[in-house]
Amino acid sequence: MHIIRYIILFFIFSIAVIACKKGFEGDRKTVAPPETFMAVDTLFRTGENRLTTRVDANWWGNSVGGIIVGYEVSTDNMQSWHFTTKQDSSFLLKIPPGQDSADVVVYVRAIDNLGQKDPSPASTLYPIKNSRPEVRFIFSLALAGIPSQNPTNVFPVLKYNIFGSDPDGTDDLKEFELYINDTLALPYIIAANTSAFTLVAKNTSADSSECSVYINSNNTPLISTIKYLRLNQNNTIYIRAVDKAISKSGFVATPEIWVKKVAGNTLMVNAYSSNKNFVQNFYCNTLKNIGITVFDTLQATEIINNNYSQLQPDFQTQSRTFALFKNIVWFGDDVNFSLPLGQRSTTDFFNKGGSLFMAVAINSSFDPLSNFLDWTPIKNLVNPPPNAVFRVNINALVNPVYVGWPTIKSTVIIASARPFELPSNTANVGYDSLYYGGIIESVTGNPPVPWTGISTVMGKRYSIANNKTNFVISSLPLERFNGNNNTDSMFKRILINELGF
């Protein structure tokens, strides 16, 4: 009897267990796909009240028996989906090219922990309109007493900074259209990520030239060139922005800029801030007297309306300008202006085999510990003894190192003079003194005495391989040293014989 009872109880227990297992399996299979919801189904906007192409969307999901683990979103009519765990986002919706408006639907579907996706995604229709893009030129501003640098008179190298924007988002910009002088010409296309461009004439002595185009700070130009730059005339550069819906901004124009032809191989850089005309006349006459009758002039310190009118807006563009020439004669009265400018803007010039003569007065305010001497044939400036200054008296003689070179004589007192020490020769580069002496040591209350230490005031840098000089520098204002009427002879030795002008 007991056995029969146990058999009956076991049978009932087995049926219950089997029923529970089937019940569990049935519950697992009946977890429904998740549901997705959005804040609104349709936004009713027409005409100018339509939304811009950048829109915001919010959503959420619900699952009975499951867990929402993420969402997939589509903005291209469910052709592609993008996963996210967020419940809101901003979207840049696309308008078909050539259209100014569209009705675009954003779809969202929830995904649960079983991998099930909502088979009927939630959606919101966004009536959007395209907004015209914008672009503007960015110009240098005068700041803290320092003039701006927006040249109005340049050799055929032109640099401009631009800023493009779009109310629908920067990602909506497609490109910029660039024109020189003629907006009816075919546009020159530059990329939407362009923040600056530089135009460099291919033929610098023609009446009109195509230009290589450099984007941003790149050193390699684009493959194609742009036409219609006019030389020895005023030019205007135009640009407009284009978005991905092919909507275009209005034209934006630069102020007129005079673009000069390159007359010859030689450039004269006038970096004087006072007595500019006197010094320039001296060098003009000197060049002509020794047979250099064709040369160009750059007024590096010319300031009009608190703006450098001929200095390029940055060192890279100035370097490209100097590289248009084979020879440079540079004279200045402010070493703190000339040496930093030369250091940062002559690399291209020297890399192309250029030859430079520089005469720049080095006064006591120049910091001898600065690195602005590193690119010159000067290693160190010679410092006067304590409480003394270096000067050059009137009629002082400055002597040549080489036999046959003329001795020159000062015509005025030079209140501040700095002899210098030359660097040591290397395997590839050599240095040599050209002129020395004429320096006196002056201490207040005592009679001046000749300086007997290192007194080089003109030196050169040359190639060991071919003995070719490519840089001569003078720390004396040589326009004040024609007391013997022989500076023409000296410059012929320097510019023709040494530098190969």
CB atoms < 10 A from the CB of 379, how many? Answer: 14
Q: Which helix H or strand E contains 282, and what residues bound it?
A: helix 276-289
17 domain residue, yes or no: no
288 and 195, same structural domain?
no
Per-residue burial over 160-173, b if 16 or more Cβ lie within 10 Å, else e, is bbbebebebbeebb
The 3-state DSSP class for residue 343 equals helix
Determine the average pLDDT of the residues in 457-477.
97
Q: pLDDT value at position 95?
A: 83
- To the question of pTM greater than 0.75 for the whole model, the response is yes
Integer CA distances (angstroms), 220 to 157, 212, 217, 338, 348, in order: 15, 9, 9, 28, 13
| Residue 355 in this model has a pLDDT that exceeds 60 | yes
Q: pLDDT value at position 131?
A: 86
Confidence of residue 26 (pLDDT cuts 50, 70, 90): very low
Which residues, other chains included, contact 163 with Cβ-Cβ below 8 Å and sequence gap of 6+?
135, 136, 138, 195
- Give the total number of structural domains in the chain: 3
Q: pLDDT value at position 7?
A: 42
Confidence of residue 29 (pLDDT cuts 50, 70, 90): low
125 domain residue, yes or no: yes
Q: pLDDT value at position 225?
A: 98
Q: pLDDT value at position 196?
A: 98
379 domain residue, yes or no: yes
Per residue in 315-338, pLDDT tens?
Answer: 999 999 999 999 999 999 999 999
- Rg of the Cα atoms in the chain: 38
Inter-axis angle of helices 315-322 and 335-345, nearest 10: 80
- What distance in Å separates the CA atoms of residue 279 and residue 272, rounded to the nearest whole number? 8
310 and 229, same structural domain?
no
Domain final residue pick, 129, 153, 169: 129
| Structure-token pair, residue 9 | 């109880």
142 and 124, same structural domain?
no
Exposed/middle/buried for residue 82 (C-beta within 10 Å: 0-12, 13-18, 19+): exposed
339 domain residue, yes or no: yes
| Structure-token pair, residue 355 | 């030859």
477 and 415, same structural domain?
yes
Residue type, 90: S
Say what percent of the chain tops pLDDT 90.
79
Dihedral through CA 380, CA 384, CA 390, CA 396, nearest 10? -80
293 and 145, same structural domain?
no
First and final CA of the chain: distance in angstroms? 131
Is residue 168 a contact partner of residue 243, using CB atoms and an 8 Å limit? yes
Is residue 81 a contact partner of residue 72, using CB atoms and an 8 Å limit? yes
21 domain residue, yes or no: no
Confidence of residue 31 (pLDDT cuts 50, 70, 90): confident
**How many Å is the maximal CA-CA distance in the chain?**
148
Domain final residue pick, 105, 129, 153: 129
Domain final residue pick, 80, 98, 129: 129
233 domain residue, yes or no: yes
142 and 77, same structural domain?
no
Residue type, 496: I
The 3-state DSSP class for residue 124 equals strand
243 and 146, same structural domain?
yes
- What distance in Å separates the CA atoms of residue 113 and residue 245, rounded to the nearest whole number? 40
For residue 112, what are the domain limits? 35-129
407 domain residue, yes or no: yes
Nearest 5°: phi and psi at 488?
Answer: -60, -45
Is residue 231 a contact partner of residue 209, using CB atoms and an 8 Å limit? yes
